[in-house]
Amino acid sequence: MHTPLDTPAGKAGRREWVGLAILSIACLIYSMDLSVLFLAMPAIVTDLDPTAAELLWINDIYGFMVAGFLVTMGTLGDRIGRRKVLLLGASAFGAASIFAAFSTSAPMLIVARACLGVAGATIAPSTLSLVVNLFADEGERNRAIGVWGTAFALGGLIGPLIGGVLLQYFHWGSVFLINVPVMLVLVAAAPFLLPEYRSGSAGRIDLPSVALSLATVLPVIYGFKKVATEGMTVAHLLPVAVGLAVGALFVRRQQRLADPLIDLALFRIPAFTASLLVNLAGVFFVFGIFLFQNQYLQLVLGLSPLEAALWSGLPGLVFTVMSLQAYRITNRLGSVRTVLLGLVVNAFGAAAMGIAAYEQSLFGVLCASGLIAIGFVPVILTTTGLIVGSAPPERTGAASAISETGAEFGGALGVALLGSLGSVVYRFEMDGANLDGLPPPMAESSRSTLAGAVDAARSLGETAAPWLDLARGSFSLGFAVSCALAAVTLVLLALVARRVYSAAPAIESNSAH
| DSSP per-residue string spanning 304-347 | -HHHHHHHHHHHHHHHHHHHHHHHHHHHHH-HHHHHHHHHHHHH
Dihedral sign for Cα 207, 246, 265, 138, please: positive
Tell me what percent of the residues of the chain surpass a pLDDT of 70.
91
**Stretch 217-245: mean pLDDT:** 83
Asked whether the beta carbons of 212 and 13 are under 8 A apart, the reply is no
Phi and psi at 198, nearest 5°, equal -155, 160
Structure confidence by residue, pLDDT tens digits, 282-301: 888 888 888 788 788 888 88
Cβ neighbour number for residue 234 with a 10 Å cutoff: 7
Report which of residues 511 and 118 the model is more confident about.
118
Q: In the predicted model, is pLDDT for residue 464 greater than 80?
A: no
| Cα→Cα distances 77→68, 131, 165, 389, 393, Å | 16, 14, 36, 16, 12
The CATH code that applies to domain 1-194 is: 1.20.1250.20
CA 396 to chain centre: 20
256-270, 318-332, 433-447: least confident range: 433-447
Question: Beta-carbon neighbour count of residue 436 at 10 Å?
Answer: 6
For 381-439, how does the pLDDT look when each residue is reduced to its tens digit (9 = 90+)?
888 888 887 777 777 777 878 887 888 778 777 877 888 888 888 888 887 766 666 67
Domains 1-194 and 267-513 in one fold? yes
Give kind and range of the element (H or E) at residue 4.
Answer: strand 2-5
The sign of the dihedral angle between the CA atoms of 38, 43, 44, 46 is positive
Q: What is the DSSP string of 437-463?
A: TS-HHHHHHHHH-HHHHHHHHHHHGGG
Confidence of residue 237 (pLDDT cuts 50, 70, 90): confident
Residue extents of the structural domains in the chain = 1-194, 206-260, 267-513
C-alpha 224: how far from chain center:
14
Residue 44: how many other CB atoms lie within 10 Å: 21
To the nearest whole percent, how much of the chain has pLDDT over 90?
A: 17
What are phi and psi for residue 3, nearest 5 degrees? -125, 90
Cα separation, 16 vs 125, whole angstroms: 18
How far does Cα 77 stand from its chain's mean position? 21
Instruction: Please compute the mean of the pLDDT values over residues 320-335 and round it to a whole number.
Output: 83
117 versus 467: the higher-pLDDT residue is 117
Q: What is the pLDDT of residues 3-13, one digit of tens each?
A: 444 444 467 67
SS3 7: coil
Residue 200 has pLDDT above 70, yes or no: no
Q: Tell me whether residue 375 is exposed, middle or buried, using C-beta atoms within 10 angstroms of its C-beta: 0 to 12, 13 to 18, 19 or more.
A: buried
The stretches of 194-304 forming alpha helices (DSSP H) are 207-230, 234-256, 270-295
CB 61 within 8 A of CB 114: yes
Residues 6+ apart with CB under 8 A from 195: 4, 5, 6, 7, 8, 83, 130, 133, 134
Range from 337-341, 434-438, 508-512 carrying the lowest mean pLDDT: 508-512
- Say how many C-beta atoms besides its own lie within 10 A of residue 442's C-beta: 19
Using DSSP, state whether 196 is helix, strand or coil: strand
Distance CA 82, CA 400 (A): 11
Asked if pLDDT for residue 1 goes beyond 80, the answer is no
- Cβ neighbours, 10 Å, residue 510: 16
Distance CA 395, CA 78 (A): 6
Calpha distance 372→188 (Å, rounded): 39
Task: Compute the average pLDDT of residues 66-76.
Answer: 83
Residue 302 zone, left/alpha/beta (φ > 0; ψ -120 to 50; rest): left
How does DSSP assign 394-425, residue by residue? GGHHHHHHHHHHHHHHHHHHHHHHHHHHHHHH
The answer to whether 34 and 63 are in contact (CB under 8 A) is yes
- Mean per-residue pLDDT over the chain, rounded: 82
The helix (H) or strand (E) run that includes residue 390 is helix 362-390
**Which fold would CATH assign to domain 267-513?**
Growth Hormone; Chain: A; (1.20.1250)
User: What is the four-CA torsion angle of 285, 141, 330, 319, rounded to 10 degrees?
Assistant: -40
